[in-house]
Structures are given as C-alpha cells and as structure tokens.
Amino acid sequence: MRRLRGLLAVSGHLAGRYAPAPPASTTAQCSLFARTFQTLAQPEPVRLQKLSAPDSGILELRLERPEVKNAINWDVMRRLRSAIETIKADATAKVVLVASSVPGAFCAGADLKALPIPTIAVIEGAALGGGLELALSCDLRICGKNAKLGLPETGLAIIPGAGGTQRLPRIVGRSRAKELILTGRRCDATEAVMMGLANYCVPEGEAYQKALDIAREITQKGPLGIRMAKRAIDQGMAVADMASATAVEGECHEQLLHTQDRLEGLAAFVEKRKPVYKGK
C-alpha cells in the first residue's frame, strides 16, 4: 500500500498542485503502472453472488462487459460454465436471477437448462441473437418495457447456433418461431408476452424487481418439490408421447413421497402455520 501511495504521489495525485515535475522515466513508469492498475481493477466479466437474508437461496448471475456490450469470448464462456458448476454444487441454491449490468444489453453464451433450479432472465434493452438464446434457456423471462428480442442470424447468412432453432418453437410454437427466425424480425416486450415468449412486461427499469418478487415466491415453496417440478416438466416435454411423459411425472412424484419436507408440509397445513423446509 505504501508503494502504491508513493507511485500515486509521484504521478501528482497525492503530491499537491505544487509538486515538482517528475523525471520523464518516472512519468513513463507511472503511466505503465496506472494502465496496469486500471486493468487489475476492472470488474470480473461474470459475477455470481448470493443474496443475503431475507433473500437467502437466491443467486444472481451477472455479465459485466460494458466496453463491448457483453460480447462473448472464450474467457467469458469459461467463467459462465464455472459459475453454472458452482450453482449446481450449491445445495442451498433455490433460484437464479440472470441479468446484465450493462444498460441496454442482455448477456449471451451459456446454457442454463442444465441447472436443476429455476432460472429467471431479467431483460432490459436488447436481447438479440445469443442474448435471446440465453434467455430462452431460462425458465422464466421478465422484460422491461424497453426490451427488444430477436434472432437476426439469417441476415448474416447463418442460423441461431446456441439452441434458438430448437427452444423458440417449443416456447412460441413452430409457425411463429419460423417467422421470427426466417425474417430476423425483432419484437418488443408487449408482443413477446402476447406470444408467450416472455412471462411479464413491466415498466422500464423494473424487470429486476419483478424477477426478484417471483424468486421470493419460489423460495417459500419446498425446494425439493421445486426441483422435481422443473425436472418433470422439462423431461416430460422432451419425450414423444403422453404415456412416457406421465411416467416421468410419476417418477419425480415418487421421489418426494418419503422426504422430511413432505411431512413438514403436511404438518404445517394441519397446524395452520408456515412450513419450514430444509430440502431433505
């Protein structure tokens, strides 16, 4: 710390307006130090943090690359995958909010369907191409009024390559998905809700708070039940017929019958009190 203060003093930041001018070699060294210090001080491009009580169990995953509007690169991909593995290994995690700290830009580049807990995409501004594909991999999508969503890849003579051609038709239907992908058309938040692409459209700047409110509701439910409900829906939608889908549901239901949380839920209902679930 003393060395840092010394270098800053030499550069004029702490020496006062009447400090003598440093030699040219020292100035060059300080300039190099300042650039290095600025680089080291830059925020991590991917930030994962736990919210504190009373929001315990809610995690926040943010992409923070304002200088390139959250453009993806291999380092960001690696960090996103590492964050996903961290969430998977956290038994206390209940809901993940996926958001961007960059005004007007959502984040891109990771498949969140692999997570066993609910994921909520917070969309303010543009979610185009890979940004929308990331949002499609989330369980819920909350849009601010200013959101613009689209898959413009065909305009570049390519196609969406991170799940867009498969997830979009499963969410909005085959015909509507073809229209959006083949034309590359962007839709606003109101239209996104109407077609089922988004769950809510709220005033600009309020998407995060709406997502947090929903996350809080989810965390009040039995965590094992939430995980199994998500698994039953996702795996059931992936099979070809209703008989196989209901079999998936039955397997998930069976796993919950002998849990401590189920007994706690029944006891709380009889005793007319709020249940205290432990995820066991």
Secondary structure of the chain as H, E, C letters: CHHHHHHHHHHCCCCCCCCCCCCHHHHHHHHHHHHHHHHHHCCCCEEEEECCCCCCCEEEEEECCHHHCCCCCHHHHHHHHHHHHHHHHCCCCCEEEEEECCCCECCCCCCHHHCCCCEEEEECCEEECHHHHHHHCCCEEEEECCCEEECCHHHHCCCCCCCHHHHHHHHHCHHHHHHHHHHCCCEEHHHHHHCCCCCEEECCCCHHHHHHHHHHHHHCCCHHHHHHHHHHHHHHHHCCCHHHHHHHHHHHHHCCCCCHHHHHHHHHHHHCCCCCCCCC
- Measured N-to-C along each axis, helices 260-271 and 223-238 cross at an angle, to the nearest 10 degrees, of 120
Class of domain 223-271: mainly alpha
pLDDT in tens, 7-24: 333 333 333 333 444 555
Per annotation, catalytic residue among 133, 189, 222, 232: 133
Query: Going by CATH, does the domain composed of 46-219 fall within 1.10.10.10?
Result: no
pLDDT at position 5 is 36
pLDDT at position 75 is 73
pLDDT at position 100 is 80
State whether the Cα torsion 150-155-160-161 is positive or negative.
negative
Has 133 been annotated as catalytic?
Answer: yes
pLDDT at position 213 is 97
Can you tell me the distance from the alpha carbon of 4 to that of 60, in angstroms, rounded to the nearest whole number? 33
Residue 171 amino acid letter? I
Per annotation, catalytic residue among 108, 110, 127, 162: 110
pLDDT at position 63 is 78
pLDDT at position 10 is 30
**Closest Cα partner for 87 from 112, 54, 63, 107?**
112
Q: Mean pLDDT for each 10-residue chunk of the chain (280 residues)? A: 35 36 50 39 74 92 69 72 90 91 62 86 91 92 95 94 93 96 96 97 96 96 95 92 94 94 93 92
pLDDT in tens, 89-131: 999 999 999 988 766 666 555 567 778 999 999 999 889 988 8
Per annotation, catalytic residue among 60, 64, 124, 153: 153
Per annotation, catalytic residue among 125, 129, 130, 144: 130
SS3 readout for 176-210: HHHHHHHHCCCEEHHHHHHCCCCCEEECCCCHHHH
Has 130 been annotated as catalytic?
Answer: yes
In the chain, domain spans? 2-41, 46-219, 223-271
Residues in the chain: 280
pLDDT at position 102 is 67
Residues 102, 126 contacting (CB under 8 angstroms): no
pLDDT at position 39 is 35
pLDDT at position 38 is 37
